[in-house]
Amino acid sequence: MMNSTQVSYFTLAAYLDTGPFKYLYFMIVMSLYIFIVSVNVMLIVVICVNRSLHEPMYIFLCSLFVNNLYGSTGLFPFLLVQILSDIHTVSAPFCFLQIYCVYTYGAVEYLNLAIMSYDRYLAICYPLQYNTHMTSKKIATLIALTWLYPLIACIVYTIYLHSHSQLCGNVINKVYCDGHSIVKLACSDSHLVNALGLILCFGVIFGALIVIIYTYMNIFKVCFSGSKQTRQKAVSTCTPHLASLFSFSVGASFELLQSRFNLSNVPIMMRIFLSVYFLTFPPLFNPVMYGLKMSKIRDPLALLFNTLGTRAAKIN
């Protein structure tokens, strides 16, 4: 029997032997990562530079885009190295660091979506009192809570996982490190570690869902009883948020199901796709959705592209 301090590395068993095609996969994943970083950074810059976008909704969006960068960076550079490598191993310290990054990203994403729904609730249900309710101090407090709670909770879980798991193996059947995969390797009683993970996970999920359900119940109530202008405002501002929420929830649900249940009957390529979906699709989908749907972001973004195009033409 070997405990967690004796495991110096983990083997990631979900990687397939792709032969010369690994270079093609590397280029595809690299292009996807470059695109994700480019569009998220571009939108963060647009929001920060334009004073007209220094409003609560866009500040929360900026926080969402920062988290997109954080989550994708926790996966893609590691994935690129593993695609080119013939031996798919990862050191134990880096494995636990990746677990921390992935779990923090997921928790921040859900909480960020929750405060965005609360912001839309105030804007649609209490438009005249909106500026009174959504003050600069409140915005800072909400963003701080969105980031600080996951950062602290996930580091507690990761440290507890590392120090209380006695492992009988080091093979993880995924393409990246996952906390529950470590728990399944334990040959000692892992009920406390498992319970802590479930408490922290569902605490975030249910807390965020309560806020989201409550706010949207009131938003729909106002829309059905309000004017056409109120309904149009609600649709234009809530559609991207609901799309982001649905996209991330589907991906996170796939990952939770795959971690907790035996999906060996599902083809391995499908399992790999489902496991990375919530780390790849939302960072790609969110900036595209908000950039195209919201005119206050789309117009400055178009102006930025026109300016860059004009300068490039002058240089040539």
Q: Measured between alpha carbons, how far is 159 from 178 in angstroms, rounded to an integer?
A: 14
pLDDT at 3: 44
Q: Which of 62-66, 148-152, 166-170, 274-278 bottoms out in mean pLDDT, i.e. has the lowest?
A: 166-170
Q: Which of 89-93, 123-127, 261-265 bottoms out in mean pLDDT, i.e. has the lowest?
A: 261-265
Q: Which residue has the tokens 């990746």?
A: 98
Half-sphere exposure of 55 (CA within 13 A, CB side): 12
pLDDT at 250 over 90: no
Q: In this predicted model, what pLDDT tens digit does every residue of 95-107 receive, in sequence order? A: 999 999 999 999 9
Domain edges within the chain: 2-315
| Most confidently modeled range among 103-112, 226-235, 300-309 | 103-112
Nearest to residue 167, comparing CAs of 152, 186, 183, 148? 186
Rg value, the chain, Cα: 22
Collapsed DSSP state (helix, strand, coil) of residue 172: strand
Mark out the alpha helices in the chain (DSSP H runs): 22-49, 56-73, 76-84, 92-125, 130-133, 136-164, 179-184, 191-225, 228-260, 268-293, 295-315
pLDDT band of 128, cuts 50, 70, 90: confident
pLDDT at 6: 63
pLDDT at 267: 75
- Spatial neighbors of 171 by CB under 8 A, at least 6 apart, are 10, 11, 13, 185
Superfamily of domain 2-315: Rhodopsin 7-helix transmembrane proteins (1.20.1070.10)
- Burial of 14: CB neighbours in 10 Å, binned 0-12, 13-18, 19+: middle
CA distances 198 to 96, 159, 258, 265, Å, are 17, 15, 15, 25
Nearest to residue 164, comparing CAs of 186, 143, 149, 142? 186
Give the mean pLDDT of 271-289. Answer: 86
Better pLDDT: 111 or 225: 111
Average pLDDT over the chain, rounded to an integer:
84
The whole-model pTM stands at 0.88
